[in-house]
Amino acid sequence: MFNREEYLSNSEWNAFLEASKDFATPNIFVNTTSIHHRFVQLKDSFPYAHIYYAVKSNPGIPVLKLLDQLGSNFDIASRYELDRVLSLGVSPDRTSYGNTIKKAKDIAYFYEKGVRMYATDSKEDLKNIAKYAPNSRIYVRILVENSTTADWPLSRKFGCHPDMAYDLLVQARDLGLTPYGISFHVGSQQRDIGQWNDAIAKTKYLFESIEEEEGIKLSMINMGGGFPAHYIQPTNELKEYASEITRYLQDDFGEDVPMIVLEPGRSLVADSGILTSEVVLVSRKNNTALQRWVYLDTGKFNGLIETLDESIKYPVITEKDGSKEGEVILAGPTCDSADIMYEHEKYKLPVDLKIGDKVYWLSTGAYTSSYASVSFNGFPPIKTYYMTKDGLFDENDNPIAKPE
Percentage helix, strand, coil for the chain under 3-state DSSP, each rounded to 5: 35, 25, 40
Residue of 137, 74, 138 whose CA lies nearest to 100: 138
Phi-psi domain of 236 (left: phi exceeds 0; alpha: psi -120 through 50; beta: other): beta
pLDDT in tens, the chain (404 residues): 788 989 999 999 999 999 999 999 999 999 999 999 999 999 999 999 999 999 999 999 999 999 999 999 999 999 999 999 999 999 999 999 999 999 999 999 999 999 999 999 999 999 999 999 999 999 999 998 755 676 666 666 888 999 999 999 999 999 999 999 999 998 888 888 989 999 999 999 999 999 999 999 999 999 999 899 999 988 899 999 999 999 999 999 999 999 999 999 999 999 999 999 999 999 999 988 888 999 999 999 999 999 999 999 999 999 999 899 999 999 999 999 999 999 999 999 999 999 999 999 999 999 999 998 888 999 999 999 999 999 999 999 999 987 86
What pTM value is reported for the model?
0.95
Give the E-state strand segments of 11-112 in sequence order. 27-31, 49-54, 73-76, 95-97
Radius of gyration of the chain from its Cα atoms, rounded to whole angstroms: 22
Question: How far is the first Cα of the chain from the last one, in angstroms, to the nearest whole number?
Answer: 34
- For residue 160, the 8-state DSSP code is B
- The tens digit of pLDDT for each residue in 332-375 reads 999 999 999 999 999 999 999 999 999 999 999 999 999 988 88
CB-based contacts of 184: which residues, under 8 Å, 6+ apart? 141, 142, 144, 159, 199, 202, 203, 222, 223, 224
Give the residue from 128, 217, 138 showing the smallest Cα distance to 178.
138
Q: What is the pLDDT of residues 15-24, one digit of tens each?
A: 999 999 999 9
Would you list the DSSP string of 188-223?
EEE--THHHHHHHHHHHHHHHHHHHHH-----EEE-
Q: Is 163 exposed, middle or buried (0-12, 13-18, 19+ CB in 10 A)?
A: exposed
